Chains A and B, each alone.
Chain A
Amino acid sequence: MEHRNRRLDLTLGLGLAAFLAFPWYRIEGGFFGLGWLAEFPSDPAVAPGLAQIFAHGRSWLGVALLLLAISAAARFVRDADRRGLVLAIAGAAGVVFLALQGLAIGFGGWTWTISETVFGPLSQGQPSMGAGAVLAALTFVLLFAFGLAERGVLKGDAFIVASISLLVCLVIVFVFYPVGSMFAASVQDFDGSFKPDGFIRNIQDGSIWSLSCVVGEGRCGVAWRTLWLALMTASGSTLLGLAFALVATRTRFPFKKGMRLLTVLPIITPPFVIGLALTLLFGRAGVVTEFLSDAFGIEPGRWLYGLTGIWIAQVLSFTPISFLVLIGVVEGVSPSMEEASQTLRANRWRTFWTVSLPLMKPGLANAFLIGFIESMADFGNPLVLGGSHGVLSTEIFFAVVGAQNDPSRAAVLAIILLCFTLSAFLAQRYWLAGKNYSTVTGKGDSGAHSALPRSVSIGVHAVVIPWMIFTVVVYGMIIFGGFVKTWGLDNSLTLDHYAKAFSISVTDGAIAWTGVAWNSFWTTMEISLIAAPLTALVGLLTAYLIVRQRFAGRDVFEFALMLSFAIPGTVIGISYILAFNLPPLEMTGTALILIACFVFRNMPVGVRGGVAAMSQLDKSLDEASLTLRATSFRTLRKVILPLLRPAIVAALVYSFVRAITSISAVVFLVSAEYNMATAYIVGLVENGEFGVAIAYSSALILVMITVITGLQLLVGERRLRRENRVLSAAPARPAATTLSQEKTA
């Protein structure tokens, strides 16, 4: 009981602070600037909630205060069941009330006519929510969760209930609310009236659904082209990712370290850069094209500009993601299962085919799904290489920013895109239903991974080595391009591009960042470093809740998250602008909107990785921890997170890198104050400053490599078995190796 009272007291204190100590409404100059402290609390613009109610005519906020008072009174109710009920109802009512009043009352009073007729006109409106209002909302969410926990929901685990409640609220605010706003805008006219004409016209458009490439002359609709591309990219990147993962863990390939670095390279590259590099190689003036033309008289073609080019660029871009997903899975397959199989008269081929590979199936499905959705949502590569053969995501972009300016067409295309990605998600769920591969169990597990069968080993090497060489060449082009004066015209080497972007001068003993890139560079670093841990935290917490907790609406919850992954960046960007430009939440032009965008766009990958890794952890480990007096928070921190280190690294790396390299959503959300590197580079490309653009990109890549290496060293590897060793294919000197293993153990 003391435990429950303490957390309740803390929450009530937070609620009181929300009404007393913080400005209720948004501060124009920014909350973290702390400029508001000077006028606090007398000035109406920065006054706290209590003053707004009694002195500044926002009497409706009194309802929220009353609900808080009811919760405080409930603290003294003895009966746990009744007390929980009161808290839950007051909390839920508080959240709903705050949301409704925010939506219903804008700057100029009521925004809905129905509320105006019911309650009469208001004397004054209100600005957007500020720190006080947000804290109050948080308080009500926590009260609601604690109330439910006291009633025994989810086995009375307050941490779990609170986490789920908070996550659900965040997802509603940052995923559903913006997308809802955008869909509402798509069937609305400019004055806000309902007008579905544009929607109906677009859904029947032939350029989307045409099948003429199959049944007749001409091109297929953009929907079919996007689907075909996504299937090809997903298959390609999954197979390559598996090959890389197998080589990295199951062979004695000499360049494993280098390979790991190489496979990380493409994701730390802004997507359009790969497109540019491919152009430098295979475009009409590309190195390879010109060589073939000179040597064999092959006519330079435009084959690169279209699905083929996009496919190559996407496979280059997404193979590393599937590699990161699959390496954890391949390592997670228990060696004792493979050893068991081998003792069951199965040779290495049969073991691989019937034991190892089926155990990797959930991971493969995840990798495929990620590849598919990434391809569908990819914006950078199609932008550079698509030419007139656009895909859905670029079509959406051009439908909004281009001459068309047709938001309802964008909405229709977005719905189609969503259908594809959701179908993929459903198919994967159906396929994996009821399959549970617990391979890291509570029992100590020793043994060695078996080596690959010879034919598979040859096969994966044959795939991996050429692809590595190809990647090296592509990156060589990127690095080289930064030092060339003007590609194709003047191939002399120069350092001018780097100097222009990153020059530093020392004046009066102070460093002046004179290069053009510094401003956006520091902003990018700051925002990415804030967003990455938040993304990993939210993603892994969500994964834990999805895998380990059984709660009502769990499937809906997971589905909602995946939905946010399935929404392409272009759509997210537009919807954020539409939703967060006006009360109740105003964030455009701040760093907050960029961080929120990154966290909720990149979280699903953390979730996927976490789910895959966590479903390999035996549930009895959590239960043992719980019966050993640990709270579920401690269980998460002490047992699950240490065992999930590979997944944590993947989530951190991925979210950091995505924040730096993403472009599709960012182009809509950057502002003069907070400009991101990719948006700046796109601007350079538009101005024709390819040299500086490529130099800047190379510098970004270098920075990301440094940060990733640092992270990997920081988080370290998990130590479960004596060591991750690979049984040698031919046991030539077993005695020596066992001896050394005993020493290291």
Chain B
Amino acid sequence: MSTQTNSPRTGSVVFQNVRKQFGAFTAIHDLSLTIEPGTLVTLLGPSGCGKTTTLRMLAGLEHPSAGRILIGGKDVTMLPANERDVSMVFQSYALFPHMSALDNVAYGLESSGIRKKEARERAEEGLQLVGLGGLGQRLPAELSGGQQQRVAVARALVLEPQVLLLDEPLSNLDARLRRKVRTEIRELQQRLGFTAVYVTHDQDEALAVSDRIIVMKDGVIAQEGAPRDLYEAPASTFIADFMGEANVLPCEVTAADAGHATIRIGGLEHRLRSGNARPGPSKLAVRPNAVTLTPAKGAALAGTISSAAYLGAHVEYEVETSEGLLFVVDEAVEEMLSPATEVAIGFRNRGLALIDA
């Protein structure tokens, strides 16, 4: 692994106007994106949004119907999968069931024409890298789910690809293991400095591991940016709701100046940070923990608690208002409000975003 840490082989990824059709169905419409070398970029979206197709086109398992794909500046659009300098971790791991873990990891090295002895040594190093040293002789069926997953990662990493592709690598693991493995993957990526493209439908996972997130919907990019940008400045109700839950309320921008905007919802006026708001009707995305509830009657924006659930660290409320049902998370567990309480609704200074669309 020494060669890897000293000189990280890392390449950029460019999609230029890529379209992919399966018969009459268009899975990807005119996709263009750039992934900087050494970054971990997540393709995020609900199932059927085209994220896996995008990844498979990058791997060479599907070829685009139109457009170009570049890896490390080289046009690979027509190159078959085995001639591309990428490797992939599959959702099902796709470990070869008839080969031991070591043989699985050495497989790609041997395919690249490396001598068997050296391939095995490097495979052993690869297994140690993922913490499975000494388990090389086991068959995949004799490993636990988490171990299998790590073998799959090691198998892809020992090839020192320019780009590592991960297709929902955690979906077969339980929640606690998922958090641990995703941290490990992120650490490995930062330590070794390779470019990684990560496909998932889980926004927590995406927020946790990514340098950048590309959210896809129906074969087009809905929004891309750093995790914070997506969470704090969603460009659409879809993004706002998909990147963590959000209440979307219709509102009126009454005044806007440099960096701030004043809005009115019902009778409530609120001033918030906003880059490019213009006066007129708009929508406000409110995170569940950005709402304050104060027992009061006849407030500017009034509501009635319709349900309250105690979850230990916080309380979840559903609040009936004139603007619709609000989902609220409140950490003031001691002063838990009971259903049918009338409350005044207010907003905190964070967790709010104006949506243009």
- Asked if B79 lies at the interface with its beta carbon under 8 angstroms from chain A, I say yes
B88-96, B231-239, B267-275 - interface stretch: B88-96
CB distance from A3 to the nearest CB of B (A): 7
Cβ B140 vs Cβ A444 within 8 A? yes
Cβ A620 vs Cβ B92 within 8 A? yes
A372-380, A529-537, A622-630 - interface stretch: A622-630
Cβ A643 vs Cβ B92 within 8 A? no
CB distance from A193 to the nearest CB of B (A): 47
For B251, what are the chain A residues with a Cβ–Cβ distance below 8 Å? none
**Which of A80, A627, A638, A639 gathers most chain B CB within 10 Å?**
A627
B79, B90, B142, B143: which contacts A624 (Cβ < 8 A)? B90
For B112, what are the chain A residues with a Cβ–Cβ distance below 8 Å? 629
With A444-B97, A618-B92 known as contacts, the answer to whether A623 contacts B81 (CB < 8 A) is yes
With A631-B82, A721-B141 known as contacts, the answer to whether A625 contacts B107 (CB < 8 A) is yes
B60, B94, B96, B142: which contacts A745 (Cβ < 8 A)? B142
- Asked if A733 lies at the interface with its beta carbon under 8 angstroms from chain B, I say no
Task: Enumerate A110-164 residues with CB–CB distance to B below 8 Å.
Answer: 150-152, 155-157
Q: Mark B266-296, 1 if CB is under 8 A from A, else 0.
A: 0000000000000000000000000000000
Cβ B80 vs Cβ A626 within 8 A? yes
- In the bound complex, what is the Cα–Cα distance between A630 and B91 (angstroms)? 20
Cβ A155 vs Cβ B80 within 8 A? yes
CB distance from B185 to the nearest CB of A (A): 17
Cβ A155 vs Cβ B81 within 8 A? yes
- Asked if A642 lies at the interface with its beta carbon under 8 angstroms from chain B, I say yes
Cβ B78 vs Cβ A80 within 8 A? yes
Cβ A627 vs Cβ B98 within 8 A? no
- In the bound complex, what is the Cα–Cα distance between A443 and B172 (angstroms)? 10
For A150, what are the chain B residues with a Cβ–Cβ distance below 8 Å? 78
With A621-B94, A722-B141, A745-B142 known as contacts, the answer to whether A443 contacts B148 (CB < 8 A) is yes
Cβ A155 vs Cβ B60 within 8 A? yes
CB distance from B78 to the nearest CB of A (A): 4
- Asked if A440 lies at the interface with its beta carbon under 8 angstroms from chain B, I say yes
Task: Enumerate A1-15 residues with CB–CB distance to B below 8 Å.
Answer: 3
- Asked if A634 lies at the interface with its beta carbon under 8 angstroms from chain B, I say yes
A155, A440, A718, A745: which contacts B63 (Cβ < 8 A)? A155
Cβ B61 vs Cβ A639 within 8 A? no
Closest to A149 in B: B80
- Asked if B41 lies at the interface with its beta carbon under 8 angstroms from chain A, I say no
Interface residues on B, range: 35 or more
For A157, what are the chain B residues with a Cβ–Cβ distance below 8 Å? 80
Cβ A639 vs Cβ B96 within 8 A? yes
**Which of A3, A445, A620, A639 gathers most chain B CB within 10 Å?**
A620
Task: Enumerate A149-206 residues with CB–CB distance to B below 8 Å.
Answer: 150-152, 155-157
Closest to A441 in B: B92
B86, B108, B143: which contacts A630 (Cβ < 8 A)? B108
CB distance from A532 to the nearest CB of B (A): 24
For A632, what are the chain B residues with a Cβ–Cβ distance below 8 Å? 82
For A440, what are the chain B residues with a Cβ–Cβ distance below 8 Å? 97
Cβ B88 vs Cβ A627 within 8 A? yes
B63, B87, B92: which contacts A443 (Cβ < 8 A)? B92
Cβ A634 vs Cβ B111 within 8 A? yes
Closest to A159 in B: B80
Task: Enumerate B49-93 residues with CB–CB distance to A below 8 Å.
Answer: 59-63, 77-84, 86-88, 90-93
Cβ B93 vs Cβ A442 within 8 A? yes
Task: Enumerate B145-170 residues with CB–CB distance to A below 8 Å.
Answer: 145, 148, 155-156, 159, 165
- Asked if B139 lies at the interface with its beta carbon under 8 angstroms from chain A, I say yes
Cβ A621 vs Cβ B78 within 8 A? no
Closest to B86 in A: A627
Cβ B111 vs Cβ A629 within 8 A? yes
For A634, what are the chain B residues with a Cβ–Cβ distance below 8 Å? 111
Cβ B63 vs Cβ A444 within 8 A? no
Cβ A442 vs Cβ B107 within 8 A? no
With A444-B140, A444-B141 known as contacts, the answer to whether A630 contacts B107 (CB < 8 A) is yes
For B108, what are the chain A residues with a Cβ–Cβ distance below 8 Å? 628-630
Cβ A442 vs Cβ B80 within 8 A? no
For B82, what are the chain A residues with a Cβ–Cβ distance below 8 Å? 626-632
- In the bound complex, what is the Cα–Cα distance between A624 and B108 (angstroms)? 9
- In the bound complex, what is the Cα–Cα distance between A80 and B77 (angstroms)? 12
- In the bound complex, what is the Cα–Cα distance between A628 and B63 (angstroms)? 17
Task: Enumerate A544-574 residues with CB–CB distance to B below 8 Å.
Answer: none
Chain B residues with a Cβ under 8 A of chain A: 59-63, 77-84, 86-88, 90-98, 107-108, 111-112, 139-143, 145, 148, 155-156, 159, 165, 172
Extra contacts besides A620-B92, A720-B141 (9): CB < 8 Å: A152-B78, A155-B60, A443-B93, A618-B92, A624-B90, A624-B94, A627-B86, A628-B156, A632-B82
Q: Could you name 13 residue pairs across A and B whose Cβ atoms are closer than 8 Å? A: A155-B63, A155-B81, A443-B95, A443-B148, A444-B95, A444-B141, A446-B141, A620-B91, A621-B94, A626-B82, A628-B159, A629-B87, A720-B141
4 closest residue pairs by CB, A with B:
A628-B108, A442-B94, A444-B141, A624-B94
